[in-house]
Structure 1
Amino acid sequence: MTDAHDTHSDPSGGELAIPIADPGLPEHQWRPTDVDPAKEKRAERQVATLFGLSALATIGFLVSYFTLDVGDDWTLIGNKGASTIALGVCLGLALLFIGVGIIHWARKLMADHEMVELRHPAKSADEDREVAVQALNDGIAESGIGRRPLIRNSLLGAVGLLGLPAVVLLRDLGPLPGDKLYHTIWGSGTKEKPMRIVRDGIWTPILASDLEIGDLVNCQPDALHNPERYDMDPTEVEGVNAQVIKSKASLVLLRMNPGDIKPGKDAQGKSRENWSVNGIVAYSKICTHVGCPISLNERTTHHLLCPCHQSTFDLADSGKVVFGPAGRPLPQLPIAVDDEGYLVAQRDFDEPVGPSFWERDYYDRW
């Protein structure tokens, strides 16, 4: 009991007067589980049962996910989606049983001593902080989690199983890409019909003789406009497929003085000296940081700048990163000229284009 003249320590070093006298607390009422071991054990089993029901509901979620199709209906409840209902009910019950179990645990088995304390400034005194940590440790001890393995283990099992639905639902993000990230349509050409490089938007092939030093051209593969030339089904390069192809195959051509080029090495350690044509080099237009399209060219330095996060690549030196957050050089496409003098791809990129991913191998070019 305190009165209006009592004081309380202030973190700044002074004392704060208690504004209202402490009215005290009524006499503590013991619960049945506090005085009857049999009822205590029964409450413990009830809590563990609730946690066990949560685990069963989580398993029901997983079974429903893999056995019910999205289009299945349950006619008995108004042609509602069986999958949606089953997943929602099972996950809801899993969370509900854990919540009810924790409440039942707290009300029947955890210590229920009442506490009264004044509000204090945002930063408590060191003594108060030590008291708070001690109170937390006391609370953990009084909860009985250390001496009630049945409750502890059933809770850990129920909560642990709840992580599985989150993992399973990742499947709905779409099918895994497999090796699709490693290939682009540039590799669809043949020795007789190599893939031509065409101007983006107008689809005209590019004569090597038409480019002057300093010219930068945004390009796409000719198959997007003329699939029949490469014996491809036109439906393969339409709609969404066309956008996916462009997202990986977009290209930039830059012509510079041939003497400025520093040929690097390919994945097999061979020189890239024959990857350019009279100073014309071709690189992926997709930044290796987060995939932004790049086309800001510094003509005198041959540096290509990404507008998103300012990653800068040296197109005269194998697309090497010279500034910014990108961690990989721009992939280079080996090019040549066909019998008519048009620029073509010799083959596909020798590494994946775009941002990095875990399974992506890399080799040291320098």
Structure 2
Amino acid sequence: MSSGSENNMSPEHLPNEQDAEGTVAVPGADHPFADPGLPAHQPRKQDIDEKAAKRSERVVAFLFLLSMLATVGFIASFVAFPVDDIRYVWPLGHVSILHVMLGVTMGIALFCIGAGAVHWARTLMSDVEIADERHPIAADEETRSKVFADFQQGAAESGFGRRKLLRNTMFGALALVPLTGVVLLRDLGPLPEDKLRHTLWGKGKRLINMNTNEPFKPEDIETGSLSFAMPEGLEYEDHDFNTEIAKAALMLVRIAPDEIKDQQSADFGVDGVLAYSKICTHVGCPVSLYEQQTHHVLCPCHQSTFDLSDGARVIFGPAGHPLPQLRIDVDDEGYLTALGDFEQPVGPSFWERG
């Protein structure tokens, strides 16, 4: 800036800056940036007409009640509609009616709580604007007293204590909405019902070699060998093959009868051929590492070790239960068949397991 322009700049043209004598220039009433102050308060209809206030109160209560009904509808939809009930819903197309109902009911429940709170604040709570000066973070006793007084005044002006209908319906809506999250816990996975206790094995089902896809005969299994079988009727092309084989996978071992320590295991087998679940009872890994001299089988995931000559008893590792054994026999054509399902649930332990 040139010296000429500096001479043309007078103190009155420098608002809020110090002049040559060190005093602060404060804008006057005619200054273009003067503080206009707060406009005069205009009362709302609800402030001067109690009937209008009661109407607003009923509207807010209705919204809170509608939220509660929507929450109940959310829970009822979860029970009433199966997830695989697919219907055409315009404009969404073919969708699960359960997902649509959950979205609609939860949306209504949350929207009505928000709309009710907003309508309450805009029509019934005090709308008088208050200007307050900034103050240091560490408040003195006078400031703290003022804060508490302002809070009590705000609570009184909100009608929270006086308008019990609003207060109670709001509490009801807020208490019910969290139930939607509790119900949604079911979507962490399908309810197991009794699926964990049953597999595809059943009386008369042949043991199918998973390598050749042919049924086993006792002579197909050599002493000291380990073979793997699946139930008759299960095909690799089946859409649920992986789900079913994860429970029904079987391993066959042949042990000399005089080396079998557990008599029940021998009774469940045929000529030293024993059939055990391949699924580790720790976290469900496939058990497959067999040592024929000791008859021990090892899970490769966490080294749980089972003694197949002693009812697949756990001798090392974190597994909590022996491998379930399948009772087998030979049919009229000489093929190995199951005499039923496993007597214990296969795979990892769960708290209902007997």
Q: TM bucket by the smaller chain?
A: 0.5 to 0.7
Which residue pairs with 2:5 in the alignment?
Answer: none
Structure 2 gap segments, 5+ residues each? 1-36, 139-143
Aligned-partner Cα distance in 2 for 1:200–1:318: 23
Aligned-partner Cα distance in 2 for 1:105–1:118: 33
> What TM-score results when the alignment is normalised by the length of structure 2?
0.59
1:119-178 CA-partner distances (Å, limit 9, x unpaired): 99xxxxxxxxxx9xxx9xx99xx799899865554344324433247637948966x665
> What TM-score results when the alignment is normalised by the length of structure 1?
0.58
What does 1:282-297 align with in structure 2 at a 5 Å threshold?
282-297=275-290
Matching residue's letter, 1:92: G
Structure 1 residues 324, 81: CA separation in 2 closer, same or farther (over 3 Å shift)?
A: same
Which residue pairs with 2:322 in the alignment?
Answer: 329
Which residue pairs with 1:261 in the alignment?
Answer: 260
Instruction: Name which of 50, 56, 76 aligns with 2:69.
Output: 56
Aligned-partner Cα distance in 1 for 2:89–2:59: 35
Structure 1 gap segments, 5+ residues each? 1-25, 121-130, 190-194, 226-236, 265-270
Alignment of 1:182 with 2:197, yes or no, is: yes
Aligned-partner Cα distance in 2 for 1:312–1:148: 69
Structure 1 residues 119, 321: CA separation in 2 closer, same or farther (over 3 Å shift)?
A: farther
Which residue pairs with 1:218 in the alignment?
Answer: 228
What does 1:97-246 align with in structure 2 at a 5 Å threshold?
97-101=112-116, 150=165, 153-162=168-177, 163-164=179-180, 167=183, 170=186, 179-189=194-204, 195-224=205-234, 239-246=238-245
Identity rate, percent: 46
Structure 1 window deviating more from structure 2 (316-325 vs 163-172): it is 163-172
Aligned residues: 292
Alignment of 1:347 with 2:347, yes or no, is: no
Aligned-partner Cα distance in 2 for 1:320–1:62: 45
Aligned-partner Cα distance in 2 for 1:150–1:89: 26
Pairwise CA distance, 1:48: 4.2
Which residue pairs with 2:103 in the alignment?
Answer: 88
Matching residue's letter, 2:255: M
Aligned-partner Cα distance in 2 for 1:312–1:146: 67
Aligned-partner Cα distance in 1 for 2:61–2:305: 59
Structure 1 window deviating more from structure 2 (277-286 vs 294-303): it is 294-303
- What is the CA RMSD across the aligned residues, in angstroms? 5.0
Matching residue's letter, 2:64: F
Structure 1 residues 296, 172: CA separation in 2 closer, same or farther (over 3 Å shift)?
A: closer
CA contact (8 A) 1:276 1:336 kept: yes
CA contact (8 A) 1:62 1:165 kept: no
Aligned-partner Cα distance in 1 for 2:257–2:318: 29
CA contact (8 A) 1:53 1:94 kept: yes
Structure 1 residues 186, 62: CA separation in 2 closer, same or farther (over 3 Å shift)?
A: closer
